[in-house]
Amino acid sequence: MLPFGSTQKRTVGYADLTRAAVEQANRARPGVQIIGGLSVGSHSTASAAALVAAAQATGGYVTGYSLSGQSAAGATSSLGLLQQLYTAG
Handedness of CA 38, 73, 10, 80 (dihedral sign): positive
* pLDDT score, position 51: 84
Q: How confident is the model at residue 7 (pLDDT cuts 50, 70, 90)?
A: low
Give the model's pLDDT for residue 39: 78
Residue 61 neighbours by CB distance under 10 Å: 17
User: pLDDT higher for 20 or 10?
Assistant: 20
pTM of the model: 0.73
pLDDT in tens, 15-74: 888 899 999 999 999 999 988 888 776 666 678 888 888 888 888 889 988 887 766 666
Of 7 and 16, the structure prediction assigns the larger pLDDT to 16
